[in-house]
Chains A and B, each alone.
Chain A
């Protein structure tokens, strides 16, 4: 059998090989340097974060046994042998879960409405004035960057303990996040309908209503539903700072070492989050067809 591959003469080959090796060596060096910088950053970070591997190894058993403990009833049996006792507070927890869902629903809706009002001002192609674009964008950025739970802490001081603070915190955070996503959809919208409407002498408001809105409403609704999903998770911890919902009950159970309650509440939260994910996924699929689901 003849060899189909032609082999270059030695000299030419050596020159090519040398260039190749040099290129590879340069790439490797860069990778190595990057890696070294990264490792150095990690070392500095571990000192800063008081990482102590000894503690981890000593107490890692605790982590495993913690799950053992939260899955054991006071009587020493496994939790799943006696559902009635494991979920003894189910009635109370379901009520708090309902409150959590309402907090995220009302918060998402307020946030979505505010974001809807602001996003046309924050989109490059529709904003009526550059200074407005700049201000609204910074405002949304602020609302998005400050974590929701920080707003909740401050609102608890202003509005008192209870779900009102949680709703407002979620609303503000959602306004920031949705405002950005909405304005990105608007920026991707086709501008020809706007020109068409403007050429009939319509105002800015009618341009938005009749040219942009029909193109973007499906995307808006899809993102709002997605946000609702995220907010359910967020609302489940709002109670940690006293802003209503199931989190209050959970933090008490964790802090006071009511082990089996911890696992029961966690299970109810996880199941609820699953159900909400599935439902909103189904609704989004129904509303906008398969391609909008991603």
Chain B
């Protein structure tokens, strides 16, 4: 067996010119991209006022705040916080359900295998623009309409999820197997029969999984829409941060963490029961 230094590099070079003699453009591409990314990064730091002194004083301030947070303590407002947490969970559940109910019929009009492109295109763009607006912005709009409170939060989550669900559901419908639909048509079913007996049995488990997942992620969204006044635990959190009650803040954050973990656990179990292990993973 030849030792490594016996390898004839000159011969290798001659045999594989495309490995050893790459053109300068392809050799420089990666470093150039990295340099460009770094340049934008540095420009960003300068433009956004990242001075070292400010950063260090901020960090020490942050350290001070973290010390103040210990130990987490709700003071005397625990019942109030529990009620707010319940409100948050209610907002997530209702908002997601409402969004799913609204999105189901609309998603049919955004699926390639159900409607022609001329219908599908505007519906898709409509859903895209709804999704382009953040939940918090929807919350602000709804507060203008129905007033401050959790109801505005429910509607905000419903609208912004409506956009997301419309897209996800229509994709689930598009990926459904057409053979069953053809079978229904062959036995003389109408278009509605095709949807009800050909598509829905295939699509519903997928949709149920997605809805559960969104309830989970909306628990997170629902915690923050309170910051702009749309009810729930975010309202309490924003208030306590503004009045610098750090022990209460850390307690509220802990409550959010526990609630999200609990919802994760439950919805994981439910998804597992509905669509089986394979689809969850």
Chain A's nearest CB lies how many Å from the CB of B216?
11
Contact in complex: B94, A274 (CB < 8 Å): no
Q: In the complex, A48 Cα to B231 Cα: how many Å?
A: 11
Q: Is B253 an interface position by the 8 A CB rule?
A: yes
Interface residue ranges of B221-253 to A (CB < 8 Å):
221, 223-224, 227-228, 231, 234, 237-238, 241, 244, 249, 253
Whether B45 contacts A48 by the Cβ 8 Å rule is no
Supposing A105-B44, A145-B260, A266-B137 touch, asked if A51 and B151 sit within 8 A by C-beta, the answer is: yes
CB < 8 Å A-B pair total: 164
Known A106-B45, A158-B58, A164-B58; judge A50-B151 contact (CB<8 A): yes
* Residue B40 is within 8 A (CB to CB) of chain A in the complex: yes
> Do A149 and B90 contact each other (CB < 8 Å), given the known contacts A157-B244, A158-B62?
no
Residues of B within 8 A of A56 (CB): 146, 151, 155
Q: How far is the CA of A167 from the CA of B46 in the complex (A)?
A: 13
B166 at interface, CB cutoff 8 A: no
Interface size on A, residues (CB 8 A): 57
The docked-state distance in angstroms from the alpha carbon of A273 to that of B163 is: 15
A99 CB-CB contact with B under 8 Å: yes
Q: Which residues of A contact B154 (CB under 8 A)?
A: 49, 51
CB-defined contacts of A266 to chain B, threshold 8 Å: 133, 137
Chain B interface, number of residues (Cβ within 8 angstroms)? 63
A199 at the interface (CB under 8 A from B): no
Cross-interface CB contact of A99 among B41, B47, B234, cutoff 8 Å:
B47
Instruction: Please state if B237 and A55 are interface contacts (CB–CB under 8 Å).
Output: no
Candidates A45, A146, A155, A162; contact of B93 at CB < 8 Å: A45
Contact of A106 among B41, B144, B260 (CB under 8 A): B41
Asked whether any CB of chain A lies closer than 8 Å to the CB of B1, the reply is no
Contact of B144 among A62, A164, A167 (CB under 8 A): A62
The reply to whether A167 and B48 contact each other, CB–CB distance below 8 Å, is yes
Give min CB distance, B73 to chain A, whole Å.
17
Tell me the nearest residue of chain B to A255, going by C-beta: B140
Chain A contact surface mostly: helix
> Could you tell me which residues of chain B, from 123 to 139, have a CB within 8 Å of some CB in chain A?
128-129, 132-134, 136-137
Binary contact readout A40-69 vs B (1 if CB under 8 angstroms, 0 otherwise): 011011111111100110011011001000
Most chain B CB within a 10 A radius of its CB, from A45, A52, A60, A163? A45
Residues of A within 8 A of B133 (CB): 266, 269-270
Task: Check if B90 sits within 8 Å of A45, measured CB to CB.
Answer: yes
* CB atoms of B94 and A46 under 8 A apart: yes
- B7-15, B49-57, B193-201: which lies at the interface: B49-57
Chain B residue nearest to A101 (CB atoms) is B44
B108 contacts chain A at the CB level, 8 A cutoff: no
21 contacts between A and B (CB under 8 A): A45-B89, A46-B90, A49-B94, A51-B94, A56-B151, A59-B147, A63-B145, A66-B141, A99-B48, A102-B43, A103-B48, A105-B40, A106-B44, A142-B257, A147-B223, A154-B62, A157-B65, A160-B58, A237-B136, A251-B228, A274-B132
